Structure 1
Amino acid sequence: MMNLKIVLIIMLSMAYQSLLAQTGGDFKAIYPEGRIPNTTTGKVRLKEESVIGQDGKERISGVSIPTMRYYAPDKSKSKGSAIIICPGGGYAILAMSHEGDEIAKKFAENGIAAFVLKYRLPSDLIMADKSIGPLQDVQQAFKIVREHATTYDIKPNKIGIIGFSAGGHLSSSAGVHYNDIKIENLKNTSLRPDFMLLLYPVISMDTTITHGGSRNNLLGKQPDEALVKYFSNETQITKDTPPTLLVHAEDDKAVPIANSKRFYNALQKNKVSSKLITYPQGGHGFGLNNKTTDDKWFDHALEWLHQEGY
């Protein structure tokens, strides 16, 4: 007979996740209250702050409680697919508007259910192991969306991920470490993204090409070499890594394009369906619109998703 405690945990989780699955404009917590994993024993909580910059873009810092916002597609346009969105920000802040909400609206307009993930930012103050905190949150997001695919009117085998900059690192981590489960998963739900879209992503922790701020914030200034290799995601690819589309500008000074090229080359070596779109200019952090070109990566992404069956 199943342990009573396990039964109660399952019932609590189901009731909580059903609440989360309801549509709405607000962010909703992805863990039941008091059950956020990997927290320090104290009750330290960072002060979450939202700042609108002079560029009109929202940036959020101090995330202690991970949440998710759902953008439902028009039912007449629905493709039965969904995408989880990880904004960038060097694992220090979240570029919530131009790499989160704007992206979600665009996908929803095109028939793809979208979920913006406000993941915890690595911090020794609130996490026992800050290196796995964001990965736990993205795994929990996949668990929720996949277990409630019927509620969202999507197919459980058509749930992917998109990430920008450090959010691209988190997304690719979800794609290569989905079998290394960091959360409670009593139903053994698959946490594997069905596809990945990576925009000017941090991929490697190799100091010759990484983004120093992302590496330091996630791993610390003197990380163990095993941890560096684990999170150098170009070294973790197998034939089962999800199909991937990468987009990067050649003149990106913050995150060298070598990150995308290494990941793409490893995907090709392992015969994983993949595509790399490069632009001569555009720099870093352009979100939906690379102002140096009339070419729209989002249009290519929709075409690629269609070709891949999503």
Structure 2
Amino acid sequence: MTKRRFWGSGLAGLALALAMPALAQDARMVPTAAPAEPNAIALGTGGVAGSSAPEAWFRQYGVAMTRNVSVATLTPFLPDPAKATGAAVIVAPGGGFLMLSMENEGWRVARALADHGIAAFVLKYRLKPTPAGMPQFEQAVTAMFAGAGRADSRMRPGDAAAGLAEPIADERAAFALIRSRAGEWHVDPARIGMMGFSAGAMTTMATALKAPELRPAFLAPIYGSMEAVQVAADAPPLFAVLAANDPLFARKGLGLIDSWQQAGRPVEFHLYGEGGHGFGLGKAGTTSTGWFDAFVRWLEMTGITHSKSASGDAAK
């Protein structure tokens, strides 16, 4: 893809992915011990300039989140080999590049994908440094929200991608790792896609813009920016999801979808009446709970989950 403006809000406030559907739950950020991540694989992409505080975990709205990530990792969630389709997806959680909603937009989604025979790989990408103290961090998050939903808040893709060098490098490394172990993981190297939520959707689209040689099998930005892009003639199929009452990205046009249609590339878009932002697999009581099943059906329709090449031969 070539450059053209396409991001909705400013980089800092663009893609906050807190678990907003759970607003009735405790909104406090409660520090917790780091969870066990026995299958996490370090990607070896380096650290973060200016980072001094250690990686820290906390819970908010009932889900696990992390911040100050300076070592990128990839965690495989593999289906039973007997039901593996050969398709795979790199899952990038959101969090405004200050945190990652690992549980709501990472692990839960990956398990659901694996249950459908799709190998899922949760990317814990590097983040901007934040203060070690929780009160100071909360202030940083509050500042990030300021102006994020303004209708005139925009960012050109070149500017956005320039500020995402580390997450893009982490995505590149994730692709390289999966393809190097494709036979072991029962993955077809030609059927690896990218899915991202909010800031993770921005990472997904920025990677597609800056690293088209990765040739992802599909792109799935979930409640991400809808800004227009210049779409390449061989752009991958796109599956996008947004809630009409999303406080960050709704009511700013649907240029992203228009761009794919005008280029004649495959696209499917679901606009749900309610759901807000950060609904993960769906907000209870709204039709947004249907997006994941629609996504699985879309993968089947496009042939991405056809199992005919899911054997070891697919990895050759």
Same fold, TM-score > 0.5, yes or no: yes
1:175 to 202, 208, 213: 208
Deviation at 1:277, TM superposition (A): 0.5
Bigger Cα displacement from structure 2, 249-258 vs 158-167: 249-258
Partner of 2:255: 262
Change (3 A) 1:46 1:191: farther
- Cα deviation for residue 130 of structure 1 reads 4.8
Structure 2 unaligned segments of length 5 or more: list them: 1-36, 132-161, 305-316
Counterpart contact for 1:58–1:96, Cα < 8 Å = yes
Contact 1:176 1:236 in 2 (8 A): no
Residue 85 of structure 1 pairs with residue 91 of structure 2: yes
- For residue 165 of structure 2, the aligned residue among 109, 112, 132 is 132
The counterpart of 1:28, out of the listed 41, 52, 58, is 41
Match of 1:248, SS state, is strand
Kindly provide the amino acid, as one letter, of the partner of residue 271 in structure 1.
G
Asked whether the equivalents of residues 226 and 249 of structure 2 are also in contact (C-alpha less than 8 Å), the reply is: no
Shift of the 242–139 alpha-carbon distance from structure 1 to 2, 3 Å rule, reads same
Q: Identity percentage over the alignment?
A: 32
Deviations along 1:122-144, whole A, 9 cap, x unmatched? 3599xxx7531111111111111
| Among 231, 242, 245, the residue aligned to 2:239 | 245
Deviation per CA, 1:245-265, whole angstroms, max 9, x where unpaired?
001011111233536x21111
Answer 1 or 2: higher relative contact order, Cα 8 Å, separation at least 6: 2
Question: Does the aligned pair in 2 maintain the 1:247–1:278 contact within 8 Å?
Answer: yes
* Secondary structure of the corresponding residue to residue 60 of structure 1: strand
Give CA deviations for 1:256-294 in whole Å, capped at 9, x if unaligned.
3536x2111101111110011011111111000232325
- Residue of structure 2 in register with 1:56 after alignment: 62
Alignment match of 1:162 (pick from 195, 202, 205): 195
CA contact 1:123–1:130 (8 Å) conserved in 2:
no
Structure 1: gaps (5+ residues): 1-23, 180-189, 205-233
SS of the equivalent of 2:277 reads coil
Matched, 1:70 2:76: yes
**Residues of 2 paired with 1:269 and 1:130: CA distance?**
28
> Is 1:146 matched with 2:179?
yes
SS in 2 for 1:73: coil
Q: Say whether 1:299 aligns with 2:305.
A: no
State which of 95, 103, 109 in structure 2 corresponds to 1:103.
109
Aligned pairs, number: 237
Per-residue deviation, residues 161-195 of structure 1 (Å, max 9, x unmatched): 1100110011111222224xxxxxxxxxx522110
SS in 2 for 1:141: helix
> How big is the shift at 1:203?
5.0
Partner letter of residue 205 of structure 2?
Answer: S
Instruction: Give the Cα separation in 1 of the matches to 2:217 and 2:89.
Output: 9
Aligned Cα root-mean-square deviation (Å): 2.2
Residues 1:67 and 1:159: Cα distance change in structure 2 (over 3 Å): same
Secondary structure of the residue aligned to 1:266 is helix
Distance 2:298 2:187 in 1: 19
Given the superposition, is the C-alpha separation of residues 202 and 45 from structure 1 closer, same or farther in structure 2, using an over 3 Å criterion?
A: farther
Which residue does 1:198 correspond to in 2?
221
Distance 2:106 2:130 in 1: 25
Deviates more, 1:268-277 or 1:289-298: 289-298
Report the residue type matching 2:210 in the other structure: H
Q: Secondary structure at the match of 2:214?
A: coil
User: TM-score, normalised on structure 2?
Assistant: 0.70
1-structure distance, mates of 2:79, 2:41: 18
